[in-house]
């Protein structure tokens, strides 16, 4: 049985004092969950969040990193920098980064390799646009993104990766994929992982769903055969909503 993972993606929200208050307030509410809980916070919140989350069941992740180890890349943050303060996870290839910051399947692949090399666990996002879905290309798009993301990565390292299926049309729009559609897309991604790395790794790899996950739809989504939890944007900014999502399964 795969574990359930509920990850929050705060995006460009929350100041350090808000981050610390959020963590202090949610810890007692979720202390008995068996699910893995991750908060992916802005860089400026990382240190404060790590301190506040120490000795709790909340793990902290970043939302991006550069693929080079170091160098003249003004404004960028390296995997080693994240690792040096005990960050555990890092989101890679979020659709907002692909869309607004020109990330490509190639840079996503490079970043995954550097993250693994530095013992960070990547949460790798794939997902189709509405246009691609409506023209019947969704499955092809997400399985190709998965293949290119995993290219050249040792099979033993693939199980360290978490994948997240986030249909772009469902992000921040209030439109959620039906649990059946989301589960089918995630099944297709798992099948691609099986083709590339074998059945055992495909059965082990955690694949999350993201896109307007809310307290009202979390249980149904997370109770399907292949959805192992959620990558939650808007609803991860409120203790009440995020804790309900964590406690829904
Ligand atoms: P929303 O939950 O706000 O739709 O965002 C999803 C997302 O992009 C998480 O990474």
172-194 pLDDT, tens per residue? 898 888 999 999 999 999 999 99
Mean pLDDT of the chain: 97
Which tokens sit at 52?
């506040």
From 96, 212, 245, give the residue whose CB has the most ligand 1 atoms within 8 Å, as the site to mutate. Answer: 212
pLDDT of residue 102: 96
pLDDT tens digits, one per residue of 189-234:
999 999 999 999 999 999 999 999 999 999 999 999 999 999 999 9
pLDDT value, residue 28: 98
CATH number at residue 191: 3.20.20.70
- Which residue minimizes the CA distance to atom 1 of ligand 1? 233
Is residue 122 within 8 Å of residue 79, measured between CB atoms? Answer: no
Torsion angles phi and psi, residue 233, rounded to 5: -90, -100
Give the DSSP H/E element, type plus range, for residue 116.
helix 105-117
Check residue 177 and give its pLDDT: 87
Tell me if residue 166 is catalytic.
Answer: yes
Could you tell me the distance, in angstroms and rounded to a whole number, from the CA of residue 181 to the centre of ligand 1? 17
In short, whether 212's Cβ falls inside 6 Å of ligand 1 is: yes
Average pLDDT of span 86-113: 98
Compute the distance between CA of residue 11 and CA of residue 213 in angstroms, rounded to an integer: 15
The answer, yes or no, to whether any atom of ligand 1 lies below 6 A from the CB of 198, is no
Contact 176 CB / ligand 1 (< 6 Å)? no
User: Exactly one of 94, 103, 128, 139 is catalytic; which is it?
Assistant: 94
- What is the domain range of residue 150? 5-246
Neighbours of 172 (CB within 10 A): 12
pLDDT tier at 38, thresholds 50, 70, 90: very high
* pLDDT above 90 for 1: no
Residue 70 predicted with pLDDT over 90? yes
Pocket probe for ligand 1: among 130, 166, 216, the residue whose CB has the most ligand atoms within 8 Å is 166
Structurally, the chain folds into a number of domains equal to 1
The pLDDT-based confidence of 148 (bands split at 50, 70, 90) is very high
Average pLDDT over residues 138-162: 97
- Percent pLDDT > 70 in the chain is 100
Query: Over 90: is that where the pLDDT of 246 sits?
Result: yes
Which contiguous run of DSSP H or E holds residue 21?
A: helix 16-30
Q: What is the pLDDT of residue 53?
A: 98
How far does the centroid of ligand 1 lie from the alpha carbon of residue 104, in Å?
19
Residue in 237, 190, 247, 184 with CA at minimum distance from that of residue 215: 247
Ligand 1 pocket check for 233: Cβ under 6 Å: yes
At 174 the pLDDT is: 86
Ligand 1: distance of its center to the CA of 96 in Å?
10
Whether 94 is catalytic is: yes
Q: What does the alpha-carbon distance between residue 2 and residue 195 come to, in Å, rounded to a whole number? A: 19
């Amino acid at each position: 049985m795969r574990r359930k993972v509920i990850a929050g993606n705060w995006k460009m929200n929350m100041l350090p004092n808000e981050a610390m208050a959020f963590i202090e307030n949610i810890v007692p509410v979720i202390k008995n969950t068996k699910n893995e809980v991750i908060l992916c916070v802005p860089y400026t919140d990382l240190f404060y969040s790590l301190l506040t989350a120490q000795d709790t069941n909340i793990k902290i992740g970043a939302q991006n990193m550069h693929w080079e180890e170091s160098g003249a890349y003004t404004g960028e943050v390296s995997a080693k920098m994240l690792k040096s303060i005990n960050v555990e996870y890092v989101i890679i290839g979020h659709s907002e980064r692909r869309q607004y910051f020109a990330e490509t399947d190639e840079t996503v692949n490079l970043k995954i390799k550097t993250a693994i090399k530095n013992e960070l666990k990547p949460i790798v996002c794939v997902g189709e646009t509405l246009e691609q879905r409506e023209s019947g290309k969704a499955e092809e798009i997400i399985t190709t993104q998965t293949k290119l993301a995993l290219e050249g990565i040792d099979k033993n390292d693939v199980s360290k990766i978490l994948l997240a299926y986030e249909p772009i049309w469902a992000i921040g729009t209030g439109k959620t994929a039906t649990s059946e559609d989301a589960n089918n897309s995630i099944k297709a991604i798992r099948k691609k992982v099986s083709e590339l790395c074998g059945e055992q790794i495909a059965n082990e790899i955690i694949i999350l769903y993201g896109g307007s996950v809310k307290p009202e739809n979390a249980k149904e989504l997370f109770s399907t055969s292949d959805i192992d939890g959620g990558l939650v944007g808007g609803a991860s900014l409120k203790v009440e909503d995020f804790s309900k999502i964590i406690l829904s399964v």
